[in-house]
Amino acid sequence: MPKPNSLRKTAATRDSEATKCQILDAAMIEFAVGGLAAARTESIAAKTGVTKAMIYYYFNSKEELYRAVMQRCFNEDLQLVKQLNLDQLTPPQALVTVISNMYQKMCKRPQMASILALESIQNSGKYYPQQTAEILFDQLIGLLERGIDSGDFRPLESRHTAINIVGSCAFYFIARENLQHMWPGQDLLCPEMIDRQSKEATKMILAGVLASDKSV
């Protein structure tokens, strides 16, 4: 039977992790609005009900908190990528899987698309996790080149094509507050809209990359 002290330490650890998660969730919303430059730790504290001092207890600075927000998403992305088993799929099937996965990730944390856009504008990519680029773009570039070699994809420049694919998926989330005027009263993040947008984006991307005699 666990000792009382051990149980208290376990409970304290759980409480600590829960508090950190609450801070990270609130920080993501704050950074998505104004980026690192305009985000205020006072606002983050107000959203979570913790003190500003508590935020700095877990994260030494606003910059460290900002990095932690992006790093958490990177860690989640890494786990998801490992589960895709893309090498076991044909290049067209793998591309469909990657696009679907991107939409699922962005739908789960739609604020990240805005944060990364603001990171480019405000900080020239200073805080952008290099691992994210390696995971996402290297994966896509490798997949596209495999499809070119197999004859499934037409000859194309894999780096530019990878950027275009990510951009076509991310724009829906970055600009959703503007795009909502095209569907008045519709929640653009509801499952039905995400599924429809994902399918339309997939068809458009496949039409652009598939060799003329190939299909999924």
Choice between 203 and 13, residue whose per-residue pLDDT is larger = 203
Mean pLDDT of 118-129: 89
Percentage, residues of the chain above pLDDT 70: 89
The tokens describing 113, both together, are 């698309």
pTM, full prediction: 0.82
Mean pLDDT of 36-42: 93
> What pLDDT, in 10s, does the model give residues 139-197?
899 999 999 999 999 999 999 999 999 999 999 999 999 999 999 999 999 999 999 99
Q: Kindly report the average pLDDT of the chain as a whole number.
A: 88
Mean pLDDT of 2-26: 68
User: CA angle 38-25-111, nearest 5°?
Assistant: 65
Which listed CATH number (3.40.50.1580, 1.10.357.10, 1.10.3720.10, 3.20.20.100) goes with 4-209?
1.10.357.10
> What pLDDT does residue 17 have?
87
Contact call for residues 92 and 206 (beta carbons, < 8 A): yes
> What pLDDT, in 10s, does the model give residues 56-89?
999 999 999 999 998 887 777 767 777 788 889 9
> What pLDDT does residue 66 have?
95
Q: Where are the domains of the chain?
A: 4-209
